[in-house]
Structure 1
C-alpha cells in the first residue's frame, strides 16, 4: 500500500509542475497572439481601440494583472476546462480543436505503437530463446529500419506504394469526396485504408528497437540461477520461456513502452506532416507555425498529462508484475 501511495503522491506533484511550466513557457516566449490578430484586423481597415485589445486579451486566455493573478485565473480556467481560443481556428475554442484531432492520433499512433511493441516483444522473446536462428539473424535488418530517418522512410513508402504501385492514397485521413465522418463501416474502412501507410511507417521504424532490447534481456535472463533451477525441476520449456524468462526480461521494456504510450497523444509530427494526416502532430505544427500560443499551450498540456498518466499506470502495473519493487518501497 505504501508503494502505491508514494507513486500517487509523486505523480500529483509532477502534474502540478507540468501545469505550472505550461503556464510559464508561453508567457516567456517572444511575441503576442493579440498583436497578431490586431495586425490582421488593421490590415482590413478595422479601428482598434484599447477596449478591443483588452477584449481580445481576455478572450485568448491572457490576463492584465500580475503573474500571480494570471496564474490563479489560469488554474481556475483549467479547472473548468477552458484552455482559451485558438488563433488559427478563431473563434473556435482550443478544447474543441484538440478534441477533433485527438481521436485521429490515438487511433493511428496508439494502434501502431501497441502493434510494434507486441510484435517486437514477441519476436525478441523467440530470438533470445533460440539464439543463432534465422529470426535472431534478422534483427540487424529490423534495426536498420530504426536507424533510417523517419521522414525518409515515409517518403520512400509514399513513392513506392502510392506513386509506383498506387496501392494506397498519399495524403489525408479519409476520402473527403465520398465519405461523411461518423460511426459507419464506410467511414471506418476509409480511415483504416488511409491510415495503413502511416501506421506501417511507425511499425517499421520502431519494431526493431523493441525486438533487439527484448532479445538481449532474454539472453541475460536465461543465464540466471532461477532459470537453471526451473530446467533442473523438469518444467516445460514453454512455461520456462513465458513465466520465468519472458516475464522478467520484459520489465525494462515496460518503462520505455510507458513513455512511448504517453507520447501517442503527441503524435508523430513528421509522419503526420508527410501524409497530411489530421492528428495532434499536424495540429502542433500548425500552431507553432502560426504562433498560436493558446493552442500550443493546450497541446503541450495534453501531451504532458498523457505521458504522466501512462507512466503512472505502468508503474502501478510494474508493482503487480514484479513484487520486488513493492518490497523496496
Structure 2
C-alpha cells in the first residue's frame, strides 16, 4: 500500500480541505445570501407600496374632508379660497381618484407631504420635524433602558431559577398590567403633587425657549424623568419575563451541561453561552419596538402633556387635518419597516440557520 504524502507542490487536493463538512459550512457561511436579501427587499417594497396606498385611501373614505372641518372653524373663508385649499391638499373634486393618487405619489417623491391646516398652513414636514425629536428622545431612551435592565435581569433570574429572585417576575408583570394612564396619573399624584420632586407635565418650563444651553437641557431632563420612569416600569415586565423563559429553555440544552461539566466558570457559561443564545428573540423584539418608538406613547403624551408625535396625531385626528394625519402615519410606517429590516438582518447575522432556511 502506498504511503505517499502530498507535498507543497503536489497538485492533489487535501481531503481534509475539501471533504469535511466543517469546511463546506465555513464556505457556505461566507457567501452573501443574495436570494435571502432579494426576497426580503421585494417583500418590504410591496409592504411600503401597500401602506402608502392605504394611507392615501383611508382619509378620502371618511365623511367630509379637511377643508370642511376648516371652514366650520373659520366661516369667513370665501368659496374661491376653499377651492384653492382643496386643490392644495389634493382634494380637488374635478380630478378623478386615480389622478389624485398619481399626484399624491408625485408630491411624495419630491418630499412634499402637504400643509397642515391646524398649524397655519405650515408644511407637514416642518410640523413633524418639530415633534419627532421629543418622542424619539424620550420613548427611545426609556425603551433602551427597559430592554437593558429587563434582559440582564431576566438572564440572571433565569440562571438562579428557584431562588428568591423569582419574586421579581410577578411583581414586574403586575406593574405591566396596570393601565398606563392610571400609572401615569398615580406617578403625577405621588411625585409631582405630593412630593413635588418633578413637574406635572410639559417638556420644559414655562417661558423657556428651546436652545442648546445647560439650563434648557436640565429642564428637559427634569421634565422627562417622570414619564420616562413610567414607560420603563410599564414595559420592564415583558422584557424580563421573556428573557427568563428563554433562559430556562436554553439551560436545558446539552451544550450548557457539557460546558458546566468541563468546569467552565459560571460567569462564562451564563453570559458566553446561555444568555448569548437566549437573547436572540429579545433582539428581534427590541428592533421591532424601536420602530414603534416613532409612534410614541399617545396615552403618555396625553397624561403628561408632552409635545410628541402621539399627541400630534391625536390633535390631527380630532381636527380632521388629513395631510398631517397622512404624514404622521407615513413616518410611523417607514420607521416600522426599517425596524423590521434591521430585525431580519440582525437575526440572520446572529443565527445563520434563519438565513439559510428562508433562502
**TM-score under structure 2 length normalisation:** 0.87
The number of residues matched between the two structures is 324
The offset of 1:8, in angstroms, is: 2.1
Match of 1:168 among 194, 198, 203: 198
| Matches for 1:111-190 after TM superposition, within 5 Å | 111-177=141-207, 179-190=208-219
Could you say if the C-alpha distance between residues 7 and 239 of structure 1 is closer, same or farther in structure 2, counting changes exceeding 3 Å?
Answer: farther
The offset of 1:134, in angstroms, is: 2.8
Q: Find the residue that maps to 1:138 and give its secondary structure.
A: helix
User: Matched residues in 2 for 1:129 and 1:6: separation?
Assistant: 38
Question: Which structure would you say has the larger Rg?
Answer: 2
The offset of 1:38, in angstroms, is: 2.6
In structure 2, the partner of 1:269 is 298
User: Matched residues in 1 for 2:63 and 2:72: separation?
Assistant: 16
In structure 1, the partner of 2:25 is none
- Is 2:62 the partner of 1:29? yes
In structure 1, the partner of 2:12 is none
| Matches for 1:52-131 after TM superposition, within 5 Å | 52-64=81-93, 65-131=95-161
In structure 1, the partner of 2:230 is 201
User: Residue deviations 1:248-277, cap 9 Å, x none?
Assistant: 211222232222211100110001100000
Q: Is the CA contact (8 Å cut-off) linking 1:61 and 1:294 kept in structure 2?
A: no
In structure 1, the partner of 2:71 is 38
RMSD after superposition: 1.4
**TM-score under structure 1 length normalisation:** 0.95
Structure 1, unpaired ranges of 5+: none
Q: Is the CA contact (8 Å cut-off) linking 1:61 and 1:83 kept in structure 2?
A: no
User: Matched residues in 2 for 1:124 and 1:133: separation?
Assistant: 13
The offset of 1:25, in angstroms, is: 1.0
In structure 2, the partner of 1:6 is 39
Q: Find the residue that maps to 2:211 and give its secondary structure.
A: coil
User: Matched residues in 1 for 2:122 and 2:233: separation?
Assistant: 37
In structure 1, the partner of 2:255 is 226
Q: Find the residue that maps to 2:115 and give its secondary structure.
A: coil
User: Matched residues in 1 for 2:73 and 2:226: separation?
Assistant: 38
The offset of 1:289, in angstroms, is: 1.3
Moved over 3 A (4+): none
User: Matched residues in 1 for 2:255 and 2:353: separation?
Assistant: 15
